[in-house]
Amino acid sequence: MFEGVLPALVTPFSSDNSIDAESFRNIVNYVEEGGVSGVVVSGTTGESATLSTREHKELINLCVDCAKVPVMAGTGSNNTVEAVELTKHAADSGADGALIISPYYIKPNNAGLIAHFKKIAESADLPIVLYNVPSRTGQDMPLEVIIELSKVENIVAVKEASGNLGKVSQILEQTVDEDFEVLSGEDGLTLPILAMGGAGVISVVANIVPEMMVKLYDAVKASDLETARKLHFEMAPLIRELFTETNPIPVKRAVELIGLSSGAMRLPLAPLSEENSVELEKVLRSMGCIA
């Protein structure tokens, strides 16, 4: 259902701190011109934790309206009822799938995790992608939970951002007979995950250099690992700069530097430090992203 390169879109804000619809459309158009396979809206990179429920729905509607590629909507929450509400809205809005982060802060046991995701999957008729990001949630979704959930008909993939390539390998190995995919959730590990059989990447760096990540994906699929490695190392300095501070602080600054508008960060996130901004600008200039 979802493969290739899907940018985890930033959410631009206007001077009054509302969602900047025009700037968002420009960002979607920019990544689409870079050849991406789909887009992810209202995820971590989109500052979803600072969006109200109304804004969350507004942003999903906006993305579905303007995107020409499939839309995966971030609809997760540590509150199952809220996640169900947002996922139902995504289905009603015409989104092509939903990305569901594991419940942050609460740290449910395995039975709770499974019941949470099954409840959401049962609530809406659209494909569900699990999102495992222990650095954000405080809990690494156990392998046995992912394997159990892979058997649910409309749970079709997992976005893996645990940094554990051994675990990714086990997921691929143990779901080989299921209609289930693994998507890289970390730009720097996209090459090895694709090489093991991953279906694609939900990417931060693709907000800035979508065409390069697309070329890397295409090269792996064509078994051209020499080209894929070259692109991997060309993007590596930028990827590092995009994570010098909490995502999406650096990438929103990068969006501004390449000539698009991302607006201010919403508190409690603050703008990128001057020191890191200077280094980010140097890398973007060295890559030809800015003059």
Of 30, 57, 159, 167, which is the active-site residue?
159
SS3 100: strand
Distances (CA, A) of 214 to 31, 218, 249, 274: 10, 6, 23, 31
Strands (E), the chain: 4-7, 39-41, 71-74, 97-101, 128-132, 155-160, 181-184, 200-203
Distance CA(103)–CA(108), nearest Å, equals 7
Residue 131 falls in the annotated catalytic set: yes
Of 131, 167, 215, 252, which is the active-site residue?
131
Would you say the C-alpha torsion 229, 233, 235, 240 has a positive or negative sign?
Answer: positive
Strands (E), 55-194: 71-74, 97-101, 128-132, 155-160, 181-184
* 249 is an annotated ligand-binding site residue: no
Contact 235, 209 (CB under 8 A): yes
Contact 125, 98 (CB under 8 A): no
Residues contacting residue 233 through CB under 8 Å, at least 6 positions apart: none
Distance CA(124)–CA(176), nearest Å, equals 25
* 45 is an annotated ligand-binding site residue: yes
Residue 63: name the closest of 107, 35, 34, 98 by CA. Answer: 98
- Annotated binding-site ranges: 45, 202
Instruction: Kindly list the catalytic residues.
Output: 131, 159
- Annotated binding-site ranges for pyruvate: 45, 202
